[in-house]
Structure 1
């Protein structure tokens, strides 16, 4: 069953209570198609293998706010982490952690500052176009950093990576957190207004990226098919969805062998259970002028490569990257 409720994918809850809260709310994090296969693994385990197949994604970090909220962030400078406003708005400090393939801690950082794109925007307004924040680390990291992309991304294959709850498209999320990164792919079906189906929109903000979670052999899960967007019902090889635990994570496209940030994970269209086939994921785009000015003021670098992102062939060949975290609700706006 699909409901017209938008849920943030950040984690505004104590970690000790994560399992109970998520189970009660049918929540999840990155989920992937049941038959996904990668690195000798299948399903959920393949999502882990995919996330660790490229060392660049070591710079996707787990964040825990001082209120217990769990999110994901991405290094854009040696001491700057890009994440979501709805994650960071209530934090006075946060712990940022590098983790290995088994979920073990490699290094932990504290923060010295937390800044949001628009401190006066409505808190929890997930698709207002300003759901972007930057954390300043108390020390510099030696990890690689990601640049941001200025080219056209609609129709591109994108990659999301995050920490938190997990599962597959048929079951929804599994209610456990093991602090392992997971990755999934999707096509950026729409770059514009927050879009949910037909010609219905969540918002009138024009910098929202939308992707739906297509099920192999079932075109009814093509939530963004028809109407203005008319997306393809053919899933990518590593197709997946965001859910709770993903907020703040970057959405990437690959251009000429390099990964570039194009958005920040903001929310999902709630399904019952959460993150099953048919779910729609939303990111706040980082290309528009206010976001660019804010991010560049924190050391982020933008580039406009001559090559455009690879668009999907009959089946996908890439990943998608977002982040992880908890809960928050938004009611649908009139179309």
Structure 2
């Protein structure tokens, strides 16, 4: 079993647990300030998650695998929400989740915590079929860098950045890291980098916060987090019925 888990850990790390990499020409303080507006972000030991009900968070399955193994061994993994720690009670990986050295699919999981969070408004599940072209806000903490450098250091500061959905493809929402000269770039453009898989992509509609996707993986052609990489987030609408069935 130990050998199996070690091999699994290597595969998981090859998919880069994600954090934020941002455009180089915008002061860091702006990304930090934006990050403070998203209290729904929840921190795992090896990733991020999002509060979607008083006692449920959603994350990437590959960020929850090792937590699930800890739970099976009788250990008590925790989720940090608003600087407070909550014990994990149950983890549900998507039944069709699959990960290998080169492939990942159905990368989504649910975590039930002990106790109810009543002081933070949870994010609602996005229910629109087509989000192409919409601006999203992604949130994470961990390795930080810019589109020129890629990931540089992990300072554990929560940041948020923006991007625009370039494509919807079944279970995925897909977007690129556009450089500042591109006509497609956003004012606070950013993508994920090493550190925080499972982090959210949000859209606010009429003062209601929706989670649109969950950070899964990145196509980087050998150099992660630089301008031109492509992000893949598990699309919440694709899994909405499965999520609702399990958290009702």
After TM superposition, the structure 1 = structure 2 runs for residues 132-171 of structure 1, keeping only pairs within 5 Å, are: 132-142=108-118, 143-151=120-128, 152-171=130-149
What SS class does the counterpart of residue 58 from structure 1 fall into? coil
Scaled by the length of structure 1, the TM-score of the pair is 0.63
C-alpha contact 2:198 2:214 (8 A) present in aligned 1 = yes
Deviations 1:233-273 (A, max 9, x none): 43110001112223111211121122211111110112554
Distance 1:246 1:126 in 2: 19
Structure 2: tracts of 5 or more residues without a match:
1-12, 72-76
TM-aligned CA deviation for residue 7 of structure 1: 5.2
- Larger relative helix fraction: 2
Distance 1:7 1:189, change over 3 A: farther
- Give deviations 1:86-107, integer Å, cap 9, x for gaps: 11123234321135xxxxxx21
Q: Work out the CA distance in 2 between the residues paired with 1:242 and 1:126.
A: 18
Deviations 1:197-236 (A, max 9, x none): xxxxxxxxx221111011122x5xxxxxxxxxxxxx4311
User: Partners in 1 of 2:16 and 2:58 — Cα distance?
Assistant: 15
Describe the superposition over 1:313-332 as per-residue Cα deviations: whole angstroms up to 9, x where unpaired. xxxxxxxxxxxxxxxxxxxx
Q: Which has a greater percent of strand?
A: 2
1:295 aligned onto 2:243: yes
Specify the alignment match of 1:114 in structure 2.
91
Over aligned residue pairs, what C-alpha RMSD do you find?
2.0
* 2:78 match: 95
Distance of 2:201 and 2:189 partners within structure 1: 14
- Residue in structure 2 matched with residue 184 of structure 1 by the alignment: 161
Tell me, yes or no, if structure 1 residue 236 matches structure 2 residue 186: yes
* Structure 1 runs of 4+ with >4 Å offset: 124-127
Q: In the alignment, what sits opposite 1:72?
A: 48
2:20 maps to which residue? Answer: 30
In 2 relative to 1, CA 287–95 (structure 1 residues): closer, same or farther, beyond 3 Å?
A: same
